[in-house]
Structure 1
Amino acid sequence: MVKDAHTVECVNEAIDDNHLWYLAYGSNMNKKTFQGLRKIVPLQHKAVTVPEYWLSLDMMGSPYIEPCFASIVKRTRQNITEGYAREIHLRCKAGTLFKWNPDNPEESLPPTLHGVAYLITKEQFKRILMTEGGWGYDDFPAGYSVIDVECKTCDAEKIVAKTLIARPASVKIGCQASERYLNLMREGAKEFGFDPTYQKYLFDLQPYRPDTQSHGVKSVKQLLAQDGALPSTKGVPLKEEIQERASLQNLIGWLPYAKKMPAEAIENRVHSDNMALKPSRKNLEPETILKAVVLADSFNERFRPLTFDKPRCLLPLCNTPLLEYTLEFLAVAGVQEVVLLCKNHPEQIKNYVRSSKWNRPYSPLKIITIVTPTALSVGDALREVDNRHLISSDFILVSGDVVSNVQLDKALELHRARKATDKDSIMTMVLKEASPFHRTRALGESSIFVIDEKTSECLYYDSLKLFPRKRRMVMSMEVFDKHSNVQIRNDLIDCQIDICSVEVPALFSDNYDWQEIRQDFVYGILTTEFPKKTIYSHVVKDSYAARVRSLQTYNAISKDMLSRWTYPIVPDSNLQEGDSYKYLRGHIYKEQDVILSRSCVLGENVQIGSGSEIGENVKINNSVIGRRVQIGANVTIEGSHIWDDVKISAGCTISNSILAAGVQLEENVAVQEDCLLSYYVVVGPDVTLPPHTKLTRHTESMTATQDKKESLDHDYDQTLIGVNGKGNIWEDTELFVDDQDFRNAQIASLAYDLSTVTLTDSGSEASVISGSSISDDDDYGDTNSTENFSREVEQTLDRAFNENHSVEIAALELNTLRMATNTTFHDLRTVVIPSILDLVKIEKLNESVKEVLNKWGPLIGKLILSEADQVDALNVSQGHCAKKDCDPKLLFWTIRLLYEQDIIEEDAILEWYNSENARGAGRPDIYGQLRDSLTPFVRWLQEAEEETEDEASGDET
């Protein structure tokens, strides 16, 4: 087929570079559609407005089922007078928002178009085009064309994005969209924090509601029959239940013949979210329903005393319950039914599911909650699954504390293909490749996987504890006889994401001594002759996957999330209903209704929930603050997790600790490293809590099932927690389990210093060796030196300069490099600023410096987060110009242009100019000469400021 020439030209223009901005304004604004159904994970996303356009719902769809889809209309006088705006107003509820004035149509305009700009690759853009049905086919003139639009962010940043607009043959004025389609748009607007007026506009749009679904199906069939594409249905009864996706696909299958549309375009539309209805489970075969079993309990005590009050899967990570991340991961993977196994606090879990978005009519998941009160291990839980016959086909097995953006499509496809050729295949383990020292690896726990390089079959598995250290492992030589290419790997993070056959629960029932998935089940399958089964691995490299196994991994995953390593699972994705986080420079995430004092300082990686109040001179860095938190004056919080409804009085310091919901700290409390204060603990004034302190309102003898009121009503030792304090010391019983080394539990705490743990294990018993050995003395190398880091940054910049990358892409690569090497923004500035200034051609200084800084000045701006950073950037610029012994005008033009671009502010320039650094104390004369070249510009700044103050004073008079 020959595509429309205009469309092809636009597409080629859109995908010339590796990346482009794509504007979504319809259902693609919704994360479930864009990332879930379309399987597109953008590099960035920004909420934007498009001043020259407004939303229209005039892209023809399927009569009576999905009558229309979203498009856009240019804000021109012709369009206004032709009635587009009038039609939009008529679709709003009477008396709301807008009134139609036929005498002056311009007064009746709907709101400016709002949407989401996604930074995506050219291949992803192609996928969008091919899933928007009918695009680009000459013999099917309906569909979308590609246009460029200018968008504006909330920071007034301009973005030119590609978007889709309905072609004239597709437009039908006066349609109403289905409620399902409107809800997708409304949810997307809420997720990205659109202006409340625009959100209300979307909610006021009236949905189309047919009298009956069967009437809609019948009407479609009659339309096709009229065109001779379908035998007449006259006299043929139609059952009312023909209303789901399978029936809709059958009807639309006739469209290639009725409208002469290519079959592949029909297939794209059937599988696009714009056409898909919620799948009907009753019309699907059991094998087509993808199920998951989620273990809501961890069957250990690592999060006590927190788990006395709340199940582990509902503990908040970055202000969102852990279970929410797991369910989101499964929904994106295409799971339709979830069996949720819970032991402790089952009513809390049921209530959470009942009140969450997963219980809404549009939810892609059906969740079945099963209580297993007697289960003591994963094995017991899976035996319960087998006894109740809950699984009849392959399923995904995960814990309720998994955070992952892994796409499981490929793993599922390979698992099914292996089953077709290997009847003994029962499991595929999804593993994440990462350094043995990656921070999301659980300290004290590791694994060895022996894998066939060609087939990915797992040949051997063994778990490794840090204490006592194993120096050898036992493996049969038959492994090497049968498999020519074998990998022995210790670089895999095991999040226990498993694709299992229906036989797995039955095997647990047959082996009552199997308690754990890896140490018992996998190890048992691979090291025994019976049952003869095979297990495979699927290693992912570019995605993120981690499991909250301990307080240490809890803290590490939180940092990854704030640093956006987990994208798109980040705070501003707003996974929960009611979330309203916005992303700000410096990895700061702030919800609505947050009160910040003018003197407070927010460092990097900070998240603050709604309703929180931050007092004067407060310093917060690398921390998560929950909702409705009150923080008094002169408080310092570093590397900590403050949950909802916490009250922190003036003068407190908190370092690398967790304060659970309802905790109160009186004045001048010092919470030192690795402390955990459980729910509703109160610490009196002037108390210093030593490192590793755990406090709870419960007594040591209580159990998780005891009545909460009864356990809280008793006297407390106020010599420890101060006057009016409420709390007891909690001792970790897991540290003293007979068959475990207590040091493994120690290093899995929130901020334990590994250097304080003795590494000698001379009394431990070494394992027997046979066949292959692994030494624990291997040299894994040191972190990159400053020289290596500088070289990496220079190479990244060279690519950006030579390939003409956008500032956004260059900044993203540099920031990724910074986080990977654990360096600072100062380290980046010392390399980036000189590299940019070296692009200036001295012989054409005035022209060249403007050209260079107009292009790359904003990149410098992305490395500046505070006024101190601005002063540092000026020092770096001066130092580079001094070393190059270049024309002093280069520094003058650099500072002036950065000032005009609002990258460097007046106060920073004055502070730098008056500093000893700028004067060049103890340095070559060139420093003073460079500073003197700025004297006229600084004098102008000071005079302009004085004039402004005089004018303000005059106005007041």
Structure 2
Amino acid sequence: MASVQEPCKLLRKCRDVMARPHKTYPPISSIPRTPEARLHAPPSTATSVLYLAYGSNLCAETFLGVRGIRPISQINVSAPTLDLVFDLPGVPYLEPCFANTALRKVPKLPDPTNPPKVPPINPPWFTAAEGSDQHEENGVAVVPSQDARWTKGLVGVVYEVTPEDYGTILATEGGGSSYADILIPCFALPPRISVPEKPPIDLPKPFFAHTLFAPSIPEEGDGNEGDATAGDGPKKPDGPRNKWYWRFIRRPHRDDPAYSQASARYLKLITDGAREHELPDDYQRYLSNLQAYTITTWKQSVGRLILLFTMLPFFFIVIFGSRLLADKQGRVPLWLAGTMAVVQNMTWMFYDAVLKPIFGDAPKYHTTNEAKALGEFMAKAASRPMLEYDGMSDAYVKDFKTFDDAFRDPEAL
């Protein structure tokens, strides 16, 4: 009996030694609001850094706990020139993508002489039935949607941090290999509950804050048709993009960035952070409606295990290397940044060439079912003789409910 218990005791001791201590951190509510004087202070006199967070760094568990950052102050902001996107490749089957920002595409003003035409069929407005997926999270109504859209620009939190803490942020975000540090104009959002003694009557004044941005650089010839001007120089045939090694050292990207879905773990960090900071309700509702990536077949589970054993060790090596070798500004050496790009690009090449054909898709799983549901619904709606009943036919309402149910449960088709 003693011989059996000894290995168990040894394993427990090893587990206790290797277990990371639980980090304690102050609550978000204890961080004061950034004063106006600091927001509009000239860069030459500022002794701190304004950093705009929009992804997992919204969450106290990640920003204060894992990264160990201690902000001096914070303020909720809107950055109307950017959009929140999830186009930064991660690890297939595990963390398919991460949050990123993209330049916001503002639609052109409509032509007043050509107003939009009224659709022939007005879709019914359904309230949440009993037993549906609609629920409330801290007073915010949440209805799961497969096609969430947000058109009001980026919403996030600007932290005032020390230069040392900002170097830590850059080092833990890839050391400059994944994101670029840019300055972006921001507008402060008023507190959720406030009654100002002197209501502001002036236009809001923007201020600049640092944020992390990973530009999507197209391949040679992609999206450049018709963009050439007389001032553009001749194309260099010996440029780095024409070399065989370019595909390994370029910034990782996917052909269809909008196709990927973030993991449930990652999305929870963002929604928790938005709730902790009391970001606008409609933005929290948008975040809660984002569809998380879910493994739906045993083949995908097998593919994830194979990827964990083959490529994940290299990820851990470069991640720990970036934290050890980053300088005070959070930048990693050029050779390490290139190594990180090679590891990530080879991971996705291995996925595209081997894992995806055998074990199935990793970023998204319900696109085909959604297209099938939409096609069937539109075909039925177009062929129905419309019998007026409160502006809608019973048959149409039935088809619409079937389509809505299919979106909620694609496997039901």
Same fold (TM over 0.5): no
Structure with the greater alpha carbon radius of gyration: 1
Q: Which has the higher strand share?
A: 1
Q: TM-score, normalised by structure 2?
A: 0.43
TM-score (normalizing by structure 1): 0.19
Greater relative contact order structure (CA < 8 Å, 6+ sep):
2
